[in-house]
Chains A and B, each alone.
Chain A
Amino acid sequence: MGDQSPFLKIRNLTKMFGTFTALKDISLDVDEGEFICFLGPSGCGKTTFLRAIAGLDIQTSGSIEQAGKDISPLPPAERDFGIVFQSYALFPNLTVFRNIAYGLENAGRSKAEIRKRVAELLDMVGLGDQADKYPAQLSGGQQQRIALARALATSPGLLLLDEPLSALDAKVRTFLRHEIKDLQDKLGITTVMVTHDQEEALTMADRIVVMDHGTIEQVGTPLEIYREPATLFVADFIGEMNQLAAIADAKNHVTIGNHSFVCNEHNKEVGTRGVMTIRPEDVVPQPKNSKNKGSNVITVTIKEMEFLGSFWRATLIDKSLGQQELVADFSINAVSRMSLDEGAVIKVDLPQQSLRFYEARR
């Protein structure tokens, strides 16, 4: 990405709550206009990280630069950001209009200017006709959009979203994902969103920051995070993943039971104990008459099949896997074409580029 200096430059951020370390020496660069997601399980430090950027819980040590200015010690009021919380924190006794106008007052704007700006914002979030309602009279999704409009009212340089969609039901959530993303694209505002929902992160973010135990596990595009998880934690946390106990062999080989698989390079010492991973959808069933004799082709028994709507999920076992279960997703097409069924013995290929080896977590 561009070689101009980053919009947000975060260096060695550490946050202590008493003796508990919530953030451990975190560094991150965010470019202007980027949509960044902090993703991780609850308690991983993602909200703490966001609140440090906002100045709501200032870090114990480390620095944050925004647009070239060191903002580390500044209180929220002296920073430049808009924020939307999970609860939306709309002022319940003020109308939608007053909520959005809240930040526009006392800034030298005339009443007419304020009215114009609020109308503009309301149109932007598609709620132009709701100005005189109270928040409690709106649906959750509408409230969420009002909160967004309020946060954007003063045209801040940075938009912070703290689990903005998690209080909504699934359908509204999907819809708003696109709304927010489109709006962000249109405004080009640098955005940091905290979420524990990987689907949300994968669909919305330009880059995802996966966090665990107060540290960053991986930073990358959604595709990188999904296809090339840097650590076993990321592999396990994002999407479905088979994890098979394995022992490292030569630089791109692993052994399970008595079978040696070719996998991506792992650079681990021979004999290292760990796990071999593969996504269920990457397991390729082979036709009965297949000539594929690759070293990653194994013969397995279908122990169970579960219909999941758009595909079948099969549980496979074989002694070449040391009797460990392997989950594979087969398309409906493949299942009917190859008449796969419970009890059948079939060959499957575990493609090299889909196989990764990680050292066991200690």
Chain B
Amino acid sequence: MSNTLSTPLKMAPKVKPKAGRDDWVMRAFIIVIGLYLIVTLAFPLYAMLSKSVNTYAFDLSRFEIQINKGQGWSKPTTIAELNQQVKKHKPADLKTSSDGRLSVVDMIEGFSFRSPTLYRLRNTQDGGAFLNGSERVTDTQWHEFTSNKFRRVFLKPVGATGLDNFVQYFSNPSLFNSIFNSLFIAIVSMVITITLAFTFAYAMARSKMRFKGVFKIITMMPILVPSLLPGIALVYLFGNQGIFKFLMGDQTIYGPIGIIAGSVFFTFPHAMIIIQTSLSISDARLYEASDALGASKMKTFFTVTLPGARYGLISAAFVVFNLVITDFGLPKVIGGQFNVLAVDIYKQVIGQQNFEMGAVVSVVLLIPAMLAFTIDRIVQKKQTSQLSARSVPYEPKVNKRFDRIMFTYCAIVGAFILMVLLICQYAALIKFWPYDLSLSLTNYNFDVMDGGGWSSFTNSLKLAVMVSFIGTIVVFTGAYMVEKAPGFGFGRGVFQFLAMLPMAIPGMVLGLAYIFFFNNPDNPLNVIYGTLTIMVICTVTHFYTVTHLTSLTALKQMDKEFESVSASLKQPFYKLFARVTVPVCMPAILDISIYLFVNAMTTVSALIFIYSPDTTLASIAMLNMDDAGDIAPAAAMGMMIFYANATARLIHYLLSKRLYGTTQAWRTR
């Protein structure tokens, strides 16, 4: 029989693969979750970007006026001509924001609302607008007013697109100086945190000191509190009535020193985790080789240890930089007169209602955040490729002197972290710092203070549970579809990009973007504005990237042929997903849920713009109480967040442990 049939080569028709039912369902999932990201991320960001280039100015030539002082109507003149006659507004005065309104009667000499004079006003072009009381008039008809009515007529500005807002921003030193301030604190905090965290991680990975487990727990504590909590602690320690005020000399803690000190506190665990990972993957064989070649400890450190950890160090540096430059809570509490970008956004939007300028500052803040994020991603890719399956983990040997030095160092760092938490707890229990140091629970009487009372704490719990639950489902399902759906390259590419984007977007920027997008009355989604729903959505989106990456890492460890086997056995993908994928990935899923819970409890930045009186949160209550001078209650609330998170952590730990005992039994041989 003939086996290979030689047929003349011709352009054969392409086979068009038929998509199975699973393929369609998976694509539908990708599209649904992709749409979720588009609506909750891409659209709001677009709204914010376009807001930053929206400029508004009164165009007086677009209005015509006629006056009748009892002798018939005057010839129509434009308001621009009127303004020239009275020399009321200079051109620069006519720039405004979208909410701007300009009184007409201010430009009429000798106007009196009691005079019998009649007025007529009209737009000369379609789309022009003036307000008659609260009614918006956009047609080009003449409208007649009495003097009394006419005083309530206001002109509306014309919108245009341009970089005027940016020009305005950069010509105002009090605004653009914040760029240097932000960069300054971010870089200084980065250097200090990396130095401290590297030494700590080195002690953990390379010494045989005791109590490593305790140190590990202590260093992770800062993650459990909002970034403004160290600010409050610093006030008690070094503030005007602080315990250690004398140490400050003629310096003040309210300013860069406070921001940097607090930033080091809250970024320390993030840097620690990354550096420790990079130290723990180094190959023992390199150390043996270095030893065998007779290299000194110093030389080994500089030729083996540091180069091995370099990606971890760079990555940690950018993560810290990013955390500090985008942080809002801490500089708000302890920044004093020292302006930084994140707080500027808040001041522009909440303080001055200048949304366009808020958007401009957001765009400015986006640039360093995006840059740091991009560099971090590139470096992380390199780090993973550096791992080899044959590496032998390094096992430190006992060295009494070295271990003692390292222990002392770690004990000091640990004591500082504990002190920050303890001082807050102490202050929360004191009647009236520093005059009446007797213990009392009055500071826990949140209901009589600004900030939303105890309900803000229960709101926070509600939010955290919902974010944790919904977020985990959305993120993990999305990651599964992207990782496992066959074909559909374009859709998956778009999805991947959207999933990575949130990490590069500072919370303040996201929150402001949500105002622009969801508070727009033309948006049908406007109904969720001011509800807990929008806060859940915002928080899930805000923390999407890290959880997405965690999911992907877990999914990539699964045998990629599971789907093929399941399909060959004619079983739908969701059976595999429920029966195998989810149970096997359960540890990662639990990690994601606790990460979301803790972050939902502590986050301030994005939600500060979208909370309503009914949906105040614990972290925001802290900020508001601190603003109102109720620092001790703020500290008390901060510690409540800490205890809630610590409890959640504990439950997570117990759950994971039980899980290993039951559903993960297969892991043990």
A residues bordering B, Cβ < 8 Å?
1, 11-12, 14, 25, 27-29, 54-56, 58-63, 72-79, 81-83, 85, 87, 89, 91-94, 102-103, 105-107, 134-137, 150-151, 153-154, 156, 207, 216, 219-220
A73 touches B16 (CB 8 A): yes
Main secondary structure of the interface of B (DSSP, over half): loop
Report B6-24 CB contacts with A as 1/0, cut-off 8 Å: 0101001111111111110
Task: Output the nearest chain B residue to A134 by Cβ-Cβ distance.
Answer: B666
- Provide the residues of chain A in CB contact with B90, threshold 8 Å: none
The 19 listed contacts between A and B (C-beta, < 8 Å) are A11-B5, A12-B12, A63-B15, A73-B15, A76-B20, A77-B567, A77-B568, A78-B20, A85-B561, A85-B564, A92-B584, A93-B583, A93-B584, A103-B568, A134-B665, A137-B669, A150-B569, A153-B569, A216-B4
A58 touches B570 (CB 8 A): no
- Provide the residues of chain A in CB contact with B565, threshold 8 Å: 83, 85, 89, 150-151
Partner among B3, B23, B570, B666 whose Cβ is within 8 Å of the Cβ of A219: B3
- Provide the residues of chain A in CB contact with B16, threshold 8 Å: 73
B4 touches A89 (CB 8 A): no
Please report the C-alpha to C-alpha distance between residue A91 and residue B21 in the assembled complex, in whole angstroms: 23
A54 touches B561 (CB 8 A): no
Task: Output the nearest chain A residue to B15 by Cβ-Cβ distance.
Answer: A72
- Provide the residues of chain B in CB contact with A216, threshold 8 Å: 3-4
B568 touches A89 (CB 8 A): no
B564 touches A83 (CB 8 A): yes
Please report the C-alpha to C-alpha distance between residue A77 and residue B486 in the assembled complex, in whole angstroms: 13
Please report the C-alpha to C-alpha distance between residue A85 and residue B19 in the assembled complex, in whole angstroms: 23
Report B628-669 CB contacts with A as 1/0, cut-off 8 Å: 000000000000000000000000000000000001111111
Please report the C-alpha to C-alpha distance between residue A25 and residue B4 in the assembled complex, in whole angstroms: 10
B667 to chain A, nearest CB (A): 7
- Provide the residues of chain B in CB contact with A82, threshold 8 Å: 568-569
Report B538-574 CB contacts with A as 1/0, cut-off 8 Å: 0000000000000000000001011011111111000
- Provide the residues of chain A in CB contact with B569, threshold 8 Å: 82, 102-103, 150, 153-154
Partner among B20, B575, B663, B669 whose Cβ is within 8 Å of the Cβ of A93: B663
The answer to whether B1 has its CB under 8 Å from any CB of chain A is: yes
Report B569-591 CB contacts with A as 1/0, cut-off 8 Å: 11100010001100110000000
B575 to chain A, nearest CB (A): 7
A23 to chain B, nearest CB (A): 12
B516 to chain A, nearest CB (A): 42
- Provide the residues of chain A in CB contact with B567, threshold 8 Å: 75-77
Task: Output the nearest chain B residue to A72 by Cβ-Cβ distance.
Answer: B15
Q: 19 new A-B pairs (CB below 8 Å) besides A89-B562, A94-B666?
A: A25-B7, A28-B4, A54-B568, A58-B17, A59-B15, A60-B14, A62-B12, A75-B22, A75-B23, A77-B21, A82-B569, A85-B565, A89-B564, A92-B667, A102-B566, A151-B565, A153-B569, A216-B3, A220-B3
How many A-B residue pairs have C-beta atoms within 8 angstroms? Tell me. Answer: 128
Task: Output the nearest chain B residue to A77 by Cβ-Cβ distance.
Answer: B567
- Provide the residues of chain A in CB contact with B22, threshold 8 Å: 75, 77
A56 touches B564 (CB 8 A): yes
Task: Output the nearest chain A residue to B585 by Cβ-Cβ distance.
Answer: A93
B663 to chain A, nearest CB (A): 7
- Provide the residues of chain A in CB contact with B12, threshold 8 Å: 12, 14, 25, 61-62
Residues 412 to 444 of chain B near chain A (Cβ within 8 Å): none
- Provide the residues of chain B in CB contact with A93, threshold 8 Å: 580, 583-584, 663-664, 666
Task: Output the nearest chain B residue to A162 by Cβ-Cβ distance.
Answer: B561
Please report the C-alpha to C-alpha distance between residue A219 and residue B14 in the assembled complex, in whole angstroms: 26
A337 to chain B, nearest CB (A): 43
Partner among B1, B4, B15, B575 whose Cβ is within 8 Å of the Cβ of A60: B15
Q: Which interface residue of A58, A61, A78, A92 has the most chain B CB atoms within 10 A?
A: A92
- Provide the residues of chain A in CB contact with B17, threshold 8 Å: 55, 58, 73, 75
Task: Output the nearest chain A residue to B12 by Cβ-Cβ distance.
Answer: A61
Please report the C-alpha to C-alpha distance between residue A188 and residue B568 in the assembled complex, in whole angstroms: 20
A220 to chain B, nearest CB (A): 7
Task: Output the nearest chain A residue to B4 by Cβ-Cβ distance.
Answer: A216
A342 to chain B, nearest CB (A): 41
Task: Output the nearest chain A residue to B16 by Cβ-Cβ distance.
Answer: A73
- Provide the residues of chain B in CB contact with A12, threshold 8 Å: 7, 12
Partner among A11, A75, A134 whose Cβ is within 8 Å of the Cβ of B18: A75
Please report the C-alpha to C-alpha distance between residue A91 and residue B563 in the assembled complex, in whole angstroms: 11
Partner among B561, B570, B666 whose Cβ is within 8 Å of the Cβ of A87: B561
- Check A27/B15 contact, CB under 8 A, given A91-B579, A150-B569, A151-B568: no
A89 touches B3 (CB 8 A): no
Task: Output the nearest chain B residue to A25 by Cβ-Cβ distance.
Answer: B9
B666 touches A135 (CB 8 A): yes
B20 touches A91 (CB 8 A): no
Q: Which interface residue of B19, B566, B570, B664 has the most chain A CB atoms within 10 A?
A: B570
Task: Output the nearest chain A residue to B576 by Cβ-Cβ distance.
Answer: A91
B579 touches A94 (CB 8 A): yes
- Provide the residues of chain B in CB contact with A81, threshold 8 Å: 568
B15 touches A62 (CB 8 A): yes
- Check A1/B1 contact, CB under 8 A, given A72-B15, A75-B23, A136-B666: yes
Please report the C-alpha to C-alpha distance between residue A89 and residue B669 in the assembled complex, in whole angstroms: 17
A40 to chain B, nearest CB (A): 14
- Provide the residues of chain A in CB contact with B18, threshold 8 Å: 73-75, 78
